[in-house]
Each structure stands twice: as structure tokens, then as C-alpha cells.
Structure 1
Amino acid sequence: MYYNTPSTISPWYDYDENEKKILKLSWSIVGSDQHEMEALGTRTYEMIFNQCPDARRLFPFMKFDGKEKETTGFIFQALRFVQVLESGIRNLESLQSLDIILDNLGRRHGKLESSSGFHKWYWSVFLECVIYNLRHFMDKPHKKKHRQMTSDEIDEAIVLWRILLRNVIERIEVGYEKDLANRSGSFDTSSTIEHRVRAPKLKEYSRSSSIAMNKSDSNHSFSEMFATLNPFKNRKNSGDK
């Protein structure tokens, strides 16, 4: 089942109760408090900047001197990103309520393209870096009151997170395109939902295809050059922190 949404975006994926349970369990591990959220956000942004050094131009208020993770600006930006993920988990029952927020976020990124050199394919890097770090924190042993996730649960959670992030990015992308088109006066409102590929139901995946999706992004609306992204290829030391 998919919610109908207006305009050019495909409907939100409708998670069943078990899928919601898996997502919420994963979030209880990776984002249960501000410390965990900061760790997830800063690690993800560090990876993004390693993969795309040019993306640093989007944050002129940051000083990249090797100690940027310790700065207030870096931590603030990392928390803002994680709060988007948190909003998705908190609104699993009404994901369409995020449409306006994500559309506005996309429009702000459209303005960044002209002012700071934002590129659309950054979202592909963002997606893969988030997925990598979500798995990292789910795999990492913890001493919380919540139990450790099994390997099968982690595999399932990663597939569900990928679907959620694609839906989120798609809506940001639409806002981004609207902003660019509005400034050029060429926005096409004739596109319909049927022209977009729907998000698949989890049961449509075999276990092997689920694992394969953890390794590469099959959404070809983004640059294929990141399909086999190595998150740490630019780092001298790729060990866990």
C-alpha cells in the first residue's frame, strides 16, 4: 500500500508493523540520545567530506584544519542532519506530514547550487555514507537496555532505511528542482506520479538482493559512479573510532 501524494513524487512507502518495529529498534541503538546522534552525524559528515572535498564549500563557516569535528559549527550541522532521520522515525505513521519540510529543504539546496556550487549527485554520496554508518552503529556492541540486533535484523533494517532515505531524498530533490526551475521560469507541472518508480515492498526482495542493495544504490536517477562507493578510500586510517 502506498499513500497518494500530489505533484511529481512517488508515494511514501507504507511500512507494516513489523517493519516499523525493526526501524524503531535500529534507531533506539543509533540515535537514542544526543551523544549517539552527534556520533552518527559527525562520522557521516566526515565521510562525506572525505568522499567529496568540494562539498566543504557548502559550509564556509567551518574551518577545515583537521580539528573540524570538535567545532560547534560541525556538531550543529551534524545534528541538523540526524534530526531529519529522527523525524522520519517519529512520523512513520504519517510520513506525508514531512512533505512540506523536505520540499523547503530541497529549495534551500537549490539556492546553494548558485551560491556555493551544490551538485545534485551529492545526495548519492549522502545516501551511501548514511547507510554505511547506520550499519556501523547497529553492528557495534553496546551496553544499552535494548538488545543487540541480529545480523538478519540489521540486513532488514538497512533495506528499510534505504527505502526511507530514498523517499526523503526524492522529496528534497523535487524541492531542489522546483527552486532551479522557478528561477529559470521553466518548471513543468505536467509530470505525474506514474512517471516515477515506486519504492518496492520489502517482501519483493530475496535475501540475496537485500544484501546486494546494502552494497550499491540501484536508483539510477543519481550518478552511477557511486554505486560501489568505498566510504574510506581517502582516509589513511579507516579503522573504527
Structure 2
Amino acid sequence: RVMIESISTLTPKDKDILRNSWAIVSKDLETLATGIFEMIFEQAPDAKLMFPFMMKDQRSGGDKEKRSTEFTFHALRFIQVIESVMQCIDSPDGLEPLFRNLGQLHGRHQEQLGFRSHYWSVFAECTLYHFRKSMRGDKRRYCIRSSTKAKLTPSEIDSAIILWREVLRVMIDRMNAGLEENNKIRKANRDIIDHQDEEDPNYHPTPKDAKHHHDSVNRRHELSVIVPDFFIRRASDEISLEAIDIASRRSS
């Protein structure tokens, strides 16, 4: 099994495998991206809660063309992260800030939209599935051994998938580090607020705080036609439990 500690530890052979396999799978980025995105929602339906265009009430019809455009736009954003890795594969120093920022962004999504870290694992597995599918289906495949156009053997496809799995694992590890960093900052901020509450028992949440919580709850309940109620309840409970507990302590 190939194990890499970071993008910078890739060997020249590793990079050749990644470049050649990427040349195959990236020939139609839109199809690749939307296929991965659709599979993510199939495997994790509650992930739809994070995307406003997936939350529109389908009973009203809506603008299907606009919804399709938004779906494609967000799907391409997923795959562009991998594209960034390939663009920086020889000088990966610039990737660390990217991964950290993405992790911090998802930390905020965790609090506001119900992001769960296992979505990254779902993303990785769906990506690997479609990468393998693309390599198997390509009619003019690159031969990893010679970098010439030829049919990839099953073992060469397996080698590419093993390496891509490690690259995705490194990406997720670095993004998760950014997420944990954001969580520590949020916890420190909550501790400060709790300390203020102890010193000032008359302190109450601002109308803006209350409205944000109310809007979040309402938005999740409006999604029942898209996401099974079980997932909505689970996401809502996980997101709101902490806020409700703080609010109840303040009002008591």
C-alpha cells in the first residue's frame, strides 16, 4: 500500500501516475463533477441541507434551468480543489493555506449549515468511484508505464486509484486540521460569552442572534419535501442543541 505524508512527498513516478490519470478523468470536468456531486447526495441525503439550491420547494416548480446551473457550479467547485492540487503538484507549498482555509470554511458550515466531517469521506469515495469509471471507459487511455496513448491495464488503474486515495486522504487530513482550528476558536469565543453571562446575569441574546436561530430552524423544516424528516431532525438537533442550551441558561 502506498502511504504519503503530504503532497510534497510524492515521488516523480507518483506524479506521472497522477498526471496521466488526471488527463483521462478531467477530459470532461463538468460530467465528472456533476456525477460525483449527484452520488454524494445519494450516499448522504442530509448533505442537501448545506446547499440552498437543493432546498427549494420542488412543489412550486421553480426555475429548473437555474437550479441545474447552480448544481453544476457547486459541483465544479468540488473538483476544482483537486485541480488545484494537480496545478501545484511540483510546488505544493501554496496548497497548505488552501486546505486550511477550506477546513475553516467547513468549520463555519458545521455550525451554520450542519456540515459533518464524514461528508469528506463520502466525497473521497464518490470521487474514486468516478475516477475508476472514467479510466475504465476511456477509449484512448494513457499507459502509465510509457506515458503513451494505450489501453490502461486493470493493475495500472488500481495503482492510480491507490495513489489518488492517498492524495485525497492527505487533502482531508489538512482540511480537517483547519476545521479543528476553527472549532477551537469558536469554543474560546463561547467560553468568553459564558464568562460574560456569569458576570452579568441580565445579559440576553441580541434580536439578531434570536432571529438567526429562528430562521435556521424554519429553513430546515421547509426542506421536508427534499430531505427525509429523519435527516432534518438529526441535523437540526446537532446544530441547534448547543445554541438552545446557551439561550436557556441565559433566560433562566
TM-score bracket for this pair, using the shorter chain length: 0.5 to 0.7
Which of 60, 81, 84 pairs up with 2:81?
Answer: 84
User: Of residues 164, 185, 188 in structure 2, which corresponds to 1:185?
Assistant: 188
Please give the alpha-carbon distance, in whole angstroms, between the structure 2 residues aligned to 1:87 and 1:64.
Answer: 34
> What residue is the counterpart of 1:198 in the other structure?
none
Query: Which of 38, 44, 47 is 2:39 aligned to?
Result: 47
The root-mean-square deviation of aligned C-alpha atoms, in Å, is 2.6
Unaligned runs of 5+ residues in structure 2 are: 143-148, 190-252
Which residue pairs with 2:20 in the alignment? 25
Secondary structure of 1:142's aligned partner: coil
| Partner AA of 1:94 in structure 2 | S
**Equivalent residue number for residue 97 of structure 1:** 94
Task: State the partner residue of 1:57.
Answer: 49
Deviation at 1:171, TM superposition (A): 0.9
Stretches of structure 1 lacking an aligned partner (at least 5 in a row): 4-9, 187-241
Quickly say closer, same or farther: Cα 1:182–1:38, change in 2 above 3 A.
Answer: same
Q: Number of residue pairs matched?
A: 176
2:212 corresponds in structure 1 to none
Inter-partner Cα distance in structure 1 for 2:128 and 2:40 = 12
C-alpha contact 1:103 1:174 (8 A) present in aligned 2: yes
Distance across 2 between alignment mates of 1:148 and 1:76: 32
1:167 is the counterpart of 2:167: no
Alignment-derived partner of residue 219 in structure 1: none
Q: Tell me if 1:124 matches 2:121.
A: yes
Aligned identity (percent) is 41
How far did residue 140 of structure 1 move? 0.7
Instruction: Give the drift of 1:135.
Output: 0.5
Which of structures 1 and 2 has the bigger CA Rg? 2
Match in the other structure for 1:37: 29
Q: Does 1:153 align with 2:159?
A: no
How far apart are 1:68 and its partner, in Å? Answer: 8.5
For residues 103-160 of structure 1, give each alpha carbon's deviation from its aligned partner in whole angstroms, at most 9, with x where no partner exists. 1011110111111111111111111111111101111133579433221211110011
Shift of 1:61: 2.7
Query: How far apart in 2 are the matches of 1:143 and 1:11?
Result: 31
Kindly indicate whether the alpha-carbon contact (under 8 Å) linking 2:53 and 2:67 is maintained by their aligned counterparts in 1: no
Map 1:60-71 → 2, pairs under 5 A: 60-62=52-54, 63=56, 71=68
**Contact 1:48-1:125 at 8 Å conserved across structures:** yes
2:70 to 69, 73, 76: 73
Alpha-carbon spacing, 1:26–1:11, altered in 2? closer, same or farther (3 Å):
closer
Mark the CA change 1:64 to 1:44 in structure 2 (over 3 Å): closer, same or farther.
farther
Task: Give the SS at the match of 1:106.
Answer: helix
Cα gap change, 1:70 to 1:143, in 2 (>3 Å): farther
Other structure's SS at 2:9 match = coil
